[in-house]
Structure 1
Amino acid sequence: MVGYTVEVHSTTFFTLQSIYIRFIGSTCSSKPQLLHSILCQQVRTYKVSCEQSVGTLLLVELEAKQSWFKDFFQDWFCNKIVVTTPEGETISFPCYKWLNSKKPVVSLRNDKATLKKEETNGTLLNQREQELEVRQKDFRWKKYHDGVPYIIDAQEPSDLPEDVRFSFTKDIEMKFNAVSVLGELQLEKWTTSSDTWESLEQLHRVLWHPKPNEYIRQHWDSDEFFGYQFLNGTNPMAIRCWRTKLPDNFPVTDDMVKSSLGGSCLQKEIQEGNIFLCDYKRLSGFEGNTINNKKQSLTAPLCLLYSTPEKKLIPIAIQLNQKPGVENPIFLPSDSEWDWLLAKTFVRSAGFHEHELNVHLLQTHLLAEVFSLATMRNLPSAHPLFKLLIPHTLYTFQINVMARNLLISDDGVFKKYTAIGHDNAVNTFLPDSFSTLTYSSLCLPDNIKERGLENIPNYYYRDDGLKLWDIIHKLVKGVLTFYYKSDADVKGDPELQNWIWEIFVYGFLRKESTGIPRSFSKVEEVIKFVTMVIFTVSAQHAAVNNGQFDFGGWMPNLPTTLRLPPPKKKGESTLETFFQTLPDVSTTVHGLAVLFLLSKKASDHCPLGVYTQDLFSEAVARWHISRFQNDLHKRDQEVNIRNRNLPLPYDYLKPANVDNSVSL
């Protein structure tokens, strides 16, 4: 008889199952050995006797069997198994899976990261291939709508494999929040009112717990803060420096903007890189939704902005629809107070739709699902890229299934409380947005250059984002170059090539115009792409998600819809017109509840660089991860120091506030 020492690490505190372990080695396999019929500790050590040594320990097989409680099967989550062999070798076998009645058996291999070509043992190669066969049955592609990325084949969270569902804590919190958020905001009595808001004071009295950001409430109507939001608000991706003649459909003249430019001429400021344009042409042609029996208004504005010598970005001209004409005037800061405020409000409402559907939903949530699904289907647990990416898939599938059911469904939030509605959003706007999506637009350094925003001052999203991009890139390069020694290693990795092929086919619909690679031939190509993936699902999502209630909690700053059409003539807008244009009371409170829920951090969130799974055994990979965590900590401190001098701190890309994954 020989003895094995088995250390069981579990997240669940106890299980009533009988847990059996079997050792599979290079010379033979052991019989299943009972660990205990009741595991009641999160870490427990067992002495297991076997008739003989199995040789080099290759695999550990766990099986959960029904214990003495008939008809009762307690799900059990195992983190890892650590085995000390009779020869004195200690080996860690990562698990991080549920054992339950549907999947009572799991086969585990050690924590060494291995490319497929390095598999010299037939047993391990077979385990690798069988693991992917099972995963490809559990994780299936499904067409969502024409012209948009594919999604996972799951209608409800319960359809998802249990290993990728919410934790018990997060599940309870999300269910509780979904039904209680209006109560938490103390807005229940306003949920059925189709009345018009009487005043900003009334709005302030109603929206008091939690209060909207006070700085934003006090400055929302200023030109300076309006411009600031294009750089550091919920959508820092819409603005671009305009270096050529303005579009023909936006006939702004020198006389219109001369006073705003301090006496300078428009062409001179364009040449000097001080003129910026935000064009919402994607919203053109949509018929407004109907809410509370009232036809809503949706415009497709063009907004011209100027970066002043005082380093402020201010709007200098707004046209609310794409076709110029007498009934589509160009509004200016010199117009009446209510004309100008209404024009800016229409721009902010258009910005809400572009942000939520394109920049937030499509470019982070749906792409995160593509990357996660391709990872689960094509990279076995022994693959170094799987180990690197798996923390960045946490909860993504479930949060997206819930979003499709609750937010962008036939009877969801977009249908009930936004100007664009459901059909326009899903069937037309999303495919149109996807048609212009490119690889370079997802890579922040390239994106900043393409939009000409390298030098505009006070662009904290750019500054913080580029720092995080570099920190992530350093991690990815350090880890992947340890496993991919040459370009030949990349070309010869079928699992990696299948991964990027499925992303190209199902995520980007075989569109070569996107610039997304269909295969990899160089190590540097893999490094850049994986950097983009991790940045997208962590930093980029944080930048466009976490400030939603900050900027939208004061509704006039980010209305989900507007009830009156834009003014066709100048000088006719009034205070009364303004409040008649804003969303009604019930639409406001429901919109705020959703923004509050989407911005609320879960108690079990995992900040960037915090890994709950111990997957890498190689010292080099572990060192790079440790350096990554140190770099993030230093960056936290730098952001804190910068923010001390800002009237409105920008902390959406502070690493401690960035989640590893799209989990909210």
Structure 2
Amino acid sequence: MADYEVTVYTGKLRFAGTLDMVFIKLVGNDGESKRKRLASLVGDLSFTNGAVSTFTVSCPVSIGKLELIELEKKSRLTGDNWFLDKVEVKSPEGDTYNFPIYCWITDSKVHRFREGEDTPEKVSLHELKQREKDYCWRKHIEGIPHCMEAEKLSDLPLEVQFSIIKNAEFIYTAFTGLAELKLTGFANSKENWTCIDDIKRVFTGKRTDLSDYVQEHWNEDAFFGYQFLNGVNPILIRRCSALPDNFPVTDDMVFPSGQFSLADEMEKGNIFLCDYKPLDGVKANIIDEKQQYLMAPLILLHKTPDDKLMPVAIQLKQTPAEDNPIFLPTDSEYDWLTAKIFVRSADFNEHQVNAHLLRTHLLAEVFAVSLLRNVPRTHPLYKLLVPHTRYTLQINFLARARLISETGSFTQFAASGGEGMVTLLKRSLSSVTYTSLCIPEDITERGLEDVPNFYYRDDGLKLWDIIHRFVQGVLGFYYKNNDAVKEDDDLQKWIGDIFEHGFLSQEGTGIPQSFTTVKELVKFVTMVIFTCSAQHSAVNAGQYDYGGWMPNTPIALQLPPPKTKGTTSEATMLQTLPDMGTTANGMAVMWLLSKPSFDFVALGKSLEKHHSEEIPSYYVKAFQGELQTLSAHIKIRNKSLKIPYTYLDPENIENSVAI
């Protein structure tokens, strides 16, 4: 008699367990077992949520090397769904076979799962046909990346929905955000702020060390410049070697003492430009029946000898004109401060729509849908990327329903909400290139290799290299040569769908339409993991830190910018800022979007269950070790910084776009 020890791991998702009867058949290269019901002393409790249960399946003789298992769930009455993590089988010869499953079994059909060490070409046609039905593409808005077809939340397959903990916590935070921030009484107020001290008195709810720092330093030029490097939108600034024709700045304007010249400083690499051209002409929102204002500014910054990045000129509209003055640090206090406020408001809207929504959330959904639709579970690409799809489809569904819908918070309270957002999304997609998504190339292209105090760059490049080594090791184990990549239909379908549905078949993006080499594949998968984890953390986690103090990040502005200098005052600045209700609702959304979940999974964690083979398991451990080392180095560095940069500390990076 040959006894096989079968261990079944039921998942920990909400409603993952089942009270149904479960049957198994083992299939080897020398025979197969009889169909056997899995039952133990605990009976129906063997497959409850999170249960790990072991059974014995006996055969008259050994059935040889195990190739697959057949699972069948039979309902007693109404039946219930079952989320199965994996099955392990130990043979009489002492071999252990792993069957990674990580999916819902919702019917009474026979489901076949191959052993975890399968090579890429061994696919389950039944599985992929079902996935094509479960994960369909949809054009949510013409001209932007496509999303998953789902009219209601229950249309999402259970395997991609929130856990019980995540769901309860998200609902609680979403509905109690104003109360948590002690802003309930302000939510519907249309009154303007009458002095900065009033805003300070409101800002007493949830605070962070950095939000307190922002409140104290928001109006300082050095902090204004710092945010272009290490705030929530570090992807816009670039080195300036020649002034744009529509930004007629002169030496006398920016260096009145004659200590420097623009030509010399540009040649030395000390001049930087931020250009919000995509915002030009975007229709600004109407909030509470009041027209809002959204500019498309140009900002010139100078790296000083003491390595500070200081703003030296701000033009708030793209076209030079008499009524579009270039504001300077030498102007009156409120002229200059008001100009900076318009820049910070423009930055909020550009950041939310381009850097955050488009470049992380929407692209992560494209990567996820294409993976879940085209790639079987035993495929090495699936094992690598499925941890980085966790919760993305549900969080994006909720964003479309509650943030950017007609009645959503962003639509109601942001200057670019509604029609403006659609315009900006379409324009922004044209700037999303393969180069801009790969941080080593993006930093080089923007000329920022040697800018001091650029912690997003420093930590991001190290993370990219760590992820790249991990991906190279794992994929190199499966793909020994370029032909193996070219001949893998699953890979080609995956990238083909991404090119078509994510980048709308635009060749100018530089996104590959197919893979021909292992090197190309490794680079692209590195970009996907970086985007879904590190990049999202960089542009998301600090939203409340930098935006909780509203004057630093106004989500909308109520007055147009001054047409001439010398006409602003503290009173006009306060009238320009969003009213109390807009402020309160904006703070609540930023609090929700930057609050980590209780079931947060950090980058590199929980990967072991997807990689059972010896060599990939080695690379998982090496990956985790490198991330731990980087985290320690970042913590040591941050101890010496006035403003610690924590968003790319691996311990703080969620493995997926989950919030």
TM-score (norm 2): 0.95
Q: 2:223 aligns with which of 222, 225, 229?
A: 225
Counterparts of residues 349-388 of structure 1 (less than 5 Å): 349-388=345-384
Counterparts of residues 380-399 of structure 1 (less than 5 Å): 380-399=376-395
Counterparts of residues 1-20 of structure 1 (less than 5 Å): 2-12=2-12, 15-20=18-23
- SS of 1:92 mapped into structure 2: strand
For residue 4 of structure 2, what is the amino acid of its counterpart? Answer: Y
Q: 1:328 aligns with which of 324, 327, 341?
A: 324
Could you give the per-residue CA deviations for residues 536-582 of structure 1, whole angstroms, max 9, x where no partner exists? 11111000000000000000000100000000110110110011000
Counterparts of residues 200-599 of structure 1 (less than 5 Å): 200-211=196-207, 213-244=211-242, 246-259=243-256, 263-426=259-422, 428-599=423-594
- 1:47 and 2:56 aligned: yes
Cα RMSD over matched residues? 1.7
User: Residue 27 of structure 2 contacts residue 66 of structure 2 at CA under 8 Å; is this kept in 1?
Assistant: yes
Could you give the per-residue CA deviations for residues 486-540 of structure 1, whole angstroms, max 9, x where no partner exists? 1121112121112111111111111111111111111111111111111111111
CA distance in 2, matches of 1:135, 1:289: 40
Greater displacement, 620-629 / 76-85:
76-85
Greater displacement, 198-207 / 77-86:
77-86
Shift of the 139–309 alpha-carbon distance from structure 1 to 2, 3 Å rule, reads: same
CA distance in 2, matches of 1:174, 1:255: 53
Could you give the per-residue CA deviations for residues 445-475 of structure 1, whole angstroms, max 9, x where no partner exists? 1000110101111000000000000100111
- 1:178 and 2:181 aligned: no
User: Residue 33 of structure 2 contacts residue 58 of structure 2 at CA under 8 Å; is this kept in 1?
Assistant: no
CA distance in 2, matches of 1:157, 1:283: 33
Counterparts of residues 156-195 of structure 1 (less than 5 Å): 156-195=152-191
- SS of 1:436 mapped into structure 2: coil
Alpha-carbon offset, residue 637 of structure 1? 0.6
CA distance in 2, matches of 1:88, 1:228: 60
For residue 4 of structure 1, what is the amino acid of its counterpart? Answer: Y
Could you give the per-residue CA deviations for residues 346-370 of structure 1, whole angstroms, max 9, x where no partner exists? 0000000110000111111111111
Gaps in structure 1 of 5+ consecutive residues: 120-124
* Count of equivalent residues: 648
Greater displacement, 81-90 / 175-184:
81-90
- SS of 1:421 mapped into structure 2: coil
Could you give the per-residue CA deviations for residues 112-144 of structure 1, whole angstroms, max 9, x where no partner exists? 14121xx4xxxxx5xx22221111111111112
- 1:649 and 2:640 aligned: no
Q: 1:631 aligns with which of 618, 626, 629?
A: 626
For residue 55 of structure 2, what is the amino acid of its counterpart? Answer: Y
Could you give the per-residue CA deviations for residues 391-430 of structure 1, whole angstroms, max 9, x where no partner exists? 111111111111111111111122210112212212x111
Equivalent position of 1:110 in the other structure: 115
Counterparts of residues 57-68 of structure 1 (less than 5 Å): 57-67=66-76
For residue 53 of structure 2, what is the amino acid of its counterpart? Answer: R
- 1:151 and 2:160 aligned: no
- SS of 1:561 mapped into structure 2: coil
CA distance in 2, matches of 1:438, 1:153: 25
Shift of the 382–566 alpha-carbon distance from structure 1 to 2, 3 Å rule, reads: same
For residue 79 of structure 1, what is the amino acid of its counterpart? Answer: D
User: Residue 135 of structure 1 contacts residue 376 of structure 1 at CA under 8 Å; is this kept in 2?
Assistant: yes
Q: 1:91 aligns with which of 97, 101, 104?
A: 97
Alpha-carbon offset, residue 655 of structure 1? 0.4
CA distance in 1, matches of 2:72, 2:543: 45
- SS of 1:614 mapped into structure 2: helix
Alpha-carbon offset, residue 22 of structure 1? 2.1
CA distance in 2, matches of 1:32, 1:247: 74
User: Residue 25 of structure 1 contacts residue 57 of structure 1 at CA under 8 Å; is this kept in 2?
Assistant: yes
User: Residue 147 of structure 1 contacts residue 435 of structure 1 at CA under 8 Å; is this kept in 2?
Assistant: no
Alpha-carbon offset, residue 338 of structure 1? 0.5
For residue 532 of structure 2, what is the amino acid of its counterpart? Answer: V
Equivalent position of 2:82 in the other structure: 76
For residue 231 of structure 1, what is the amino acid of its counterpart? Answer: L
Alpha-carbon offset, residue 53 of structure 1? 5.0
CA distance in 1, matches of 2:108, 2:645: 46
User: Residue 113 of structure 1 contacts residue 617 of structure 1 at CA under 8 Å; is this kept in 2?
Assistant: no
Equivalent position of 1:122 in the other structure: none
Q: 1:32 aligns with which of 29, 35, 38?
A: 35
Could you give the per-residue CA deviations for residues 375-398 of structure 1, whole angstroms, max 9, x where no partner exists? 112221121111111111111111
CA distance in 2, matches of 1:107, 1:406: 39
- SS of 1:194 mapped into structure 2: coil
CA distance in 1, matches of 2:114, 2:168: 33
CA distance in 2, matches of 1:9, 1:193: 52
CA distance in 1, matches of 2:23, 2:219: 66
User: Residue 490 of structure 1 contacts residue 522 of structure 1 at CA under 8 Å; is this kept in 2?
Assistant: yes
CA distance in 2, matches of 1:585, 1:145: 32
CA distance in 1, matches of 2:311, 2:557: 21
CA distance in 1, matches of 2:57, 2:482: 45
Greater displacement, 39-48 / 148-157:
39-48
For residue 232 of structure 1, what is the amino acid of its counterpart? Answer: N
CA distance in 1, matches of 2:486, 2:184: 59
Alpha-carbon offset, residue 106 of structure 1? 3.5
Alpha-carbon offset, residue 74 of structure 1? 3.8
User: Residue 608 of structure 2 contacts residue 617 of structure 2 at CA under 8 Å; is this kept in 1?
Assistant: no
CA distance in 1, matches of 2:626, 2:118: 24
Could you give the per-residue CA deviations for residues 58-102 of structure 1, whole angstroms, max 9, x where no partner exists? 2222222223xx33x3433222111123444321211222233x5
Gaps in structure 2 of 5+ consecutive residues: none
- SS of 1:38 mapped into structure 2: helix
- SS of 1:45 mapped into structure 2: strand
User: Residue 113 of structure 1 contacts residue 616 of structure 1 at CA under 8 Å; is this kept in 2?
Assistant: no
For residue 225 of structure 1, what is the amino acid of its counterpart? Answer: F
Q: Percent identity?
A: 50
- SS of 2:558 mapped into structure 1: coil
CA distance in 2, matches of 1:448, 1:380: 35
Alpha-carbon offset, residue 182 of structure 1? 1.3
CA distance in 1, matches of 2:69, 2:353: 45
For residue 136 of structure 2, what is the amino acid of its counterpart? Answer: R
User: Residue 14 of structure 1 contacts residue 38 of structure 1 at CA under 8 Å; is this kept in 2?
Assistant: no
